[in-house]
Amino acid sequence: MDSNLLTSEYTPVPEALRTRLVGESVEVPEFEQGKGLTGYHIALLASHGPELPEFHAPFSFLNRQGANVDVVTQDWVFDYQREAPGVIVLAQFLATNVCVQADKKISDADVEDYDAVVLLGGAWNPILLRTDEKVLEFLRSIRVRNRLVAAVCHGPQILINVGGFAPGTKVTGVADIRQDLTNAGFDVHDEPVVYDEQARLVTGRDPRALGEFCRDLGIRLQEAKGRQTSSG
């Protein structure tokens, strides 16, 4: 039997419940306009299902600070979504009523173009990305070039599949993935934001840490540019 036909055997979600599927709200940080990241090029890597505030906060922060941000997604989101190529569904817990247009697919993203990559959380997004070999190869190439990687909430799950991190690399993440990160050899901290200098890795704990996560991302990007300027 076609699994898509099974819906006829079950009760539709009550309208009263539909209005509550957005889950608990969080305070989304607002960022001032600036030019501190002018000239930086960032890949915001996402598939379907990143949480709305986890997309909005870093995207807003980077743009307001003058960075050039590409929303990069999996090839199939462009190739097989014939009626909406490149559209990514954003989640609000279980609600899926908003979306965003990606700029390019992973096969067209050149690692050499980017100063950093940002990985988002959400329940589905990391699962889709961590099993896509093109995504993993892109991230491995970013790391080989010692570019900054930033991941928030469930986003650090993707790093497990990327591999290549030294045992004891410091990270944080949402509570339900910390055991997985520990099992993979990371040194896991219950802190809003953690930075591992050797790995060039910024991680944020959950949506309530988005302000600190974004500000630390900006600091680490500028530090790296400063080192490059002084050595050049």
Structure tokens at 134: 């093109």
Residues 6+ apart with CB under 8 A from 79: 85, 105
Q: Which amino acid is at 172?
A: T
Cα–Cα separations (whole angstroms), residue 75 to 31, 106, 126, 168: 32, 6, 15, 33
Task: Cite the active site residues.
Answer: 153-154
